[in-house]
Structure 1
Amino acid sequence: MYTPSGFAIKDLDELHRQMLDTRLAMLVTHGEQGLQASHLPLLLRPEQGPNGTLYGHFAKANPQWKALQEGAEALVIFAGADAYVSPGFYPSKAEHGKVVPTWNYVAVHAYGTAEVFTDAERLLELVSALTDRHETGRAQPWTVADAPTDYIDGMLKAIVGFALPIQRLEGKRKLSQNRSAADIAGVREGLAASPDAHAQALAHLMR
């Protein structure tokens, strides 16, 4: 990922926070079948390895897991908040007019090679942890144990799990840091006034 030094996220805790905030990641591989990508909810175990370890699963019918099994490197993209930045947000537009549109965003890229597994006990632990994470906060959280055991056993046979120790992490936080203080304030105010939820999220980050 092209990342000028002023936009780079270097702090591991901040990188992990962004990954945890991204509920659906994109896993990209390049193997014998060429480029493949899947959108997956992932579980991050930050304490496992120097950069953490990612866990997830594919439908067994999705051939991408075979690329991981064959040792293909994976790129996992965690896309955060993003918003279009209009030149009209910049006070400097009125001064000299030398401004153009851009896009502000936050993103983290994780790289590594994965271990693939089909062990039922390990898969059950994974899907239970993923479910608990996303059911937290609901008035009546659903758990894997709520479904019939034989049904879950059948579902587990239809998926393939993976553990991906993160070998390299890149983070980018492009929030108009290359603009003047007045222009940054103008962007922040312009995004905050937008009816778009993504723009408002970016404005919050810029505070």
Structure 2
Amino acid sequence: MADNPAPPLYRPAAYDAADPVKIISDHPFALLMSPQMHATFTPIIFEFDDRSDVMVGHMAGRNAHALSLQTGDKALAVFSGPHAYISPRWYVEKPSVPTWNYVAAHVRGTLEVVTDDAAQLAILRRSIDLMEAGFDTPWSIDDASEGKVDQLLPLIRSFRIHVDSIEGVTKLSQTHPAGDRARIIAGLKADPYPDLADHMVQQEEASYRA
């Protein structure tokens, strides 16, 4: 990336997120971008707690992006939260045009490539423990079949992001009257977009037809 300061996330004052860290913690599946114009979707979490200034993640080692990562590279991680199309039929008090509501956060920082097995294992353990925390009986990396983790460690490439900045945007119709916001909420509840489960069902149906 160029030495010039990176442009900030576009977020008009009305949409500036009060707590971008919460966006990241709630939606840790991010798009990591680095100077070589590679981009990869992967979970990225805070290494120690949600207020630390270091984030960690990993990706498949045979991914060309993984092979291009270099310590000292500047990186951008984009975290996308919920989003939806907003129809103008819901605007009554303040007529408008179609738009999109969304929640997102940007993390910018400096990459550190992690290749040490112990450090990679710690990153995997931290990631799994965090994601499993909501289950009644959390799965641990120690529950993996014998030899499985040792087999997989050489096949991944882990990284740290030493955070320079965190920015967030919550565009949720804040600039519209309360009545219109209520209609938008009701409309979204009555006519939601298909969720991931719907996509999975469609994929299953397509595979049966193939």
Question: TM tier, shorter chain?
Answer: 0.7 to 0.9
Question: By how many angstroms is 1:120 displaced?
Answer: 0.8
State the partner residue of 2:30: 25
State the partner residue of 1:110: 107
The answer to whether the aligner puts 1:100 opposite 2:102 as a matched pair is: no
Query: Cα deviation per residue 1:125-156 (whole Å; 9 max; x = unaligned)?
Result: 11111112222333443221122453311211
State the partner residue of 1:59: 60
Distance 2:10 2:185 in 1: 24
Distance 2:192 2:157 in 1: 41
Counterpart residue type for residue 117 of structure 1: V
Distance 1:175 1:30 in 2: 32
- Residues 1:84 and 1:19: Cα distance change in structure 2 (over 3 Å): same
TM-score, normalised to structure 2's length? 0.79
The answer to whether the aligner puts 1:36 opposite 2:31 as a matched pair is: no
State the partner residue of 2:81: 80
Aligned partner of residue 142 in structure 1, secondary structure: coil
- Residues 1:47 and 1:92: Cα distance change in structure 2 (over 3 Å): closer
Aligned partner of residue 167 in structure 1, secondary structure: strand
State the partner residue of 1:131: 128
Distance 1:101 1:47 in 2: 36
| Structure 1 runs not aligned, ≥5 long | 199-207
Question: By how many angstroms is 1:66 displaced?
Answer: 4.2
State the partner residue of 2:144: 147
Counterpart residue type for residue 42 of structure 2: L
Residue 46 of structure 1: which of 44, 50, 73 is its match? 50
Query: Cα deviation per residue 1:174-206 (whole Å; 9 max; x = unaligned)?
Result: 0111222322222222223224477xxxxxxxx
CA contact (8 A) 2:25 2:50 kept: no
Counterpart residue type for residue 183 of structure 2: G
Counterpart residue type for residue 160 of structure 1: R
CA contact (8 A) 1:85 1:101 kept: yes
Query: Cα deviation per residue 1:24-81 (whole Å; 9 max; x = unaligned)?
Result: 11111122xxx11111012213343xxx321001222123234431533111011011
TM-score, normalised to structure 1's length? 0.80
Aligned partner of residue 30 in structure 1, secondary structure: coil
CA contact (8 A) 2:21 2:51 kept: no
| Structure 2 runs not aligned, ≥5 long | 1-8, 196-210
Distance 1:128 1:69 in 2: 23
Distance 1:110 1:29 in 2: 12
Question: Percent identity over the alignment?
Answer: 35
Distance 2:104 2:139 in 1: 30
Counterpart residue type for residue 46 of structure 1: D
State the partner residue of 2:168: 171
